[in-house]
Amino acid sequence: MKEYLILDGYNIINAWKELKELANESLEISRQKLAEIMVEHASYNGIKVIIVFDAYLVKGSRSVFEEYENLEIVYTKENQTADSYIEKLISQMNKRDIIKVATNDWAEQQIILGKGAIRISARELKLEVDFAKTKISKKTLQKKTKKNTLHSLIDEETLSKLEKIRRNR
């Protein structure tokens, strides 16, 4: 059983303050930042993340897929919304897998639920991402502050035997 998190990319960008501010400067940079955030989130949680950006109004656009270890980025083709792509994708996925979809679109949330997926809002996703970042930071800090001494690497019994050997010299 696998776990998937599918994002309506532009919906998330417009819902998260820092990404929306970046998008005002450069939409490309905002998309890259979202991808970076989600790669870290996917790695930490052991899930596959799929970000869908629609190219609904982009003339002549074709579906484009970018795939990384645990992240897939999809740009839909012309006249295809992210919502319709996500609905079709969910229908094709294994029903035994855990499928979460992050969007603030109320109508889309209802369709997602009807197809058996779990819906989460952009705000809930942000909370999950921030929680994971905090956990990652704590682990990193613990690794940095933990000293690699003999005491931290071997058990007490072995340490006691080594101490006896040292004293008998």
The residue with tokens 């579906």 is 63
- Please give the model's pTM, rounded to 2 decimal places: 0.78
pLDDT per residue over 38-73, tens digit each? Answer: 999 999 999 999 999 987 555 555 666 777 789 999
Identify the band that residue 121 occupies on the pLDDT scale cut at 50, 70 and 90.
Answer: very high
pLDDT at 105 over 60: yes
| Per-domain residue ranges of the chain | 3-167
Pick among 3.40.1010, 3.30.460, 3.30.420, 3.40.50: CATH of 3-167: 3.40.50
Residue 150 has pLDDT above 70, yes or no: no
Res 56: pLDDT:
54
